[in-house]
Amino acid sequence: MLTKELIANIYKKVPKQNVLSKIEERYVYAFDASDLHEKVQIPDAVVFVESVEQVQEIVKLANKFKTPIICRGAGTNTVGACVSVHGGIVLNFSKMNKILEINPVNMTARVQPGVVVGDLQKQVEKIGLYYPPDPSNLKVSTIGGSVAQNSAGARGFKYGTTRDYVIDMLVVMADGSVIRTGANTIKNAAGYNLGSLFIGSEGTLGIVVEVTVKLITKPEASEVLLAYFDSVEEAVNSVNQIIKHQICPTTIDLMDNNAIKTIEEYKNCGLLCDKQAALIIEVDGFKTVIEAQMKLICDILNKNNAQNIKYAKQKEEADEIWDARHSSMAACAQLRPNVTTDDVIVPRENLSILIKGIQKICSKYDLIMCMVGHVGDGSVHPQIPIDMNDKDEYTRYKLAKSEIYDLTARLGGIISGEHGIGLVKKPFLPKVIDNGAIDYMRQIKKIFDPNNILNPYKIF
């Protein structure tokens, strides 16, 4: 519990209306989009910060009173990264949501952490620039959250993740001081890449209050196709063959049979439910190049026994295909009270084994599982609808999850490609990360945050 002295000091640093103290107000901020079923603690206060100076003042107070401080954007992360374990202060960044600068000459954008990713994309595209990272909930996901979790998305195969676009950050450290991690330049070889430590650190090392990202030129056009297969192996082999022919699609996403059937029942959008897998492939670039690439892709797909290839030349048709794919979580939500999702990733040579293995594990534990994923980079999202109030089903789910991580580790993979670790995956991190490496991570945490106030007890 926060002391009366600390609460009184918080009211001195920010407007009173920016502090939530009633239990029913704070209760909302005890949860995020994770599948945490275990009880988490309600934060003692929720503070809506509006400036770097306010963040500094709150952090100084938290450090003085050794009180946990947890940063929160839209709360869409799925690993419990922004829930409070031992109460403390939740810093809400929804009021720090300004695009401070878009520089078309430097091809950069400087933003506050509360800026929504989709809003930034729309603004830069108006002037012919492009910010590629595309988390599936980009209509609400924030830049701060993307930095905290190193978010990616379907375009990660061609364009990379958030980490590949952040060139500078303003970070409030655990003692309230401020550091700048980079420069307003595309290249930087001056000293350690300190910024890389903060990206994906889930707010455990410092609090990011400003981000500068590099932009690229907006592709002239893009086209999408949907192809079906009688086996997962044929779908994955098609992906490998496309890449072998020196084609780099923007996205290559997969849906398995359960995902196809569940989405179709939910949306009635014309998906073929008798097929074992479907690929959604998008190519962008110059129009003249796209036409040739799409023809070659179709030839490759046909040689790998693809069926019913739907070629969307118009934006409306492409949107319909992607709308179906992005409806998978909502469709799963119709099957059980709760829906869980994961983001395991393996070297692509082991992708078919991973997909078939996850299907077998979920069948073993009598769990519904809809598989979607960004198969170009070897990343899959097994979505498992369950009733968390059903103790037997929840236990079977936990056992299946552990086996999925064991399988991922055996295949040379990682238990998180883009969601992070947080609380949910913390117990499983040693399955894929060397103990010596984890020890160094702990030492880094102690150096940056000696009083363990910054999002404590997350990751490890």
Give the pLDDT confidence score for residue 38 in this predicted structure.
66
Give the pLDDT confidence score for residue 4 in this predicted structure.
82
To the nearest 10°, report the CA torsion of 401, 427, 342, 402: -10
Give the pLDDT confidence score for residue 236 in this predicted structure.
95
pLDDT in tens, 74-101: 999 999 999 998 899 999 999 999 999 9
Determine the Cα–Cα distance for residues 300 and 115; give it in Å rounded to an integer.
41
pLDDT value at 37 more than 70: no
Whole-structure pTM value: 0.94
- Using 50, 70 and 90 to split pLDDT, how confident is the model at 195? very high
Is 117 in a helix, a strand, or coil? helix
pLDDT value at 138 more than 70: yes
Strands annotated E in 327-434: 338-341, 344-345, 370-374, 379-386
Whole-number average pLDDT of the chain: 95
* Rounded average pLDDT over 39-54: 92
pLDDT value at 40 more than 80: no
pLDDT value at 301 more than 60: yes
Residues in CB range of 89: below 8 A, 6 or more apart: 2, 10, 43, 44, 45, 46, 47, 58, 62, 67, 68, 69, 70
Determine the Cα–Cα distance for residues 240 and 230; give it in Å rounded to an integer.
17
Determine the Cα–Cα distance for residues 176 and 116; give it in Å rounded to an integer.
25
pLDDT in tens, 175-185: 999 999 999 99
pLDDT value at 7 more than 80: yes
Cβ(312)–Cβ(362) under 8 Å? no
- Using 50, 70 and 90 to split pLDDT, how confident is the model at 39? low
Instruction: Count Cβ atoms within 10 A of the Cβ of residue 248 and give its class: 0-12 exposed, 13-18 middle, 19 or more buried.
Output: middle
Determine the Cα–Cα distance for residues 168 and 183; give it in Å rounded to an integer.
5
Is 323 in a helix, a strand, or coil? helix
Amino acid, single-letter form, for residue 156: G
pLDDT value at 136 more than 90: no
- Using 50, 70 and 90 to split pLDDT, how confident is the model at 377? very high
pLDDT in tens, 243-261: 999 999 999 999 999 999 9
* Rounded average pLDDT over 380-402: 96
Q: All domains of the chain, ordered by start, with CATH? A: 4-92 (3.30.43.10), 101-217 (3.30.465.10), 221-329 (3.30.70.3450), 335-431 (3.30.70.2740)
Determine the Cα–Cα distance for residues 215 and 447; give it in Å rounded to an integer.
33
* Rounded average pLDDT over 344-356: 96
Determine the Cα–Cα distance for residues 74 and 144; give it in Å rounded to an integer.
9
Determine the Cα–Cα distance for residues 400 and 81; give it in Å rounded to an integer.
22
Backbone angles phi, psi at 16, to 5 degrees: -55, -35
- Using 50, 70 and 90 to split pLDDT, how confident is the model at 5? confident
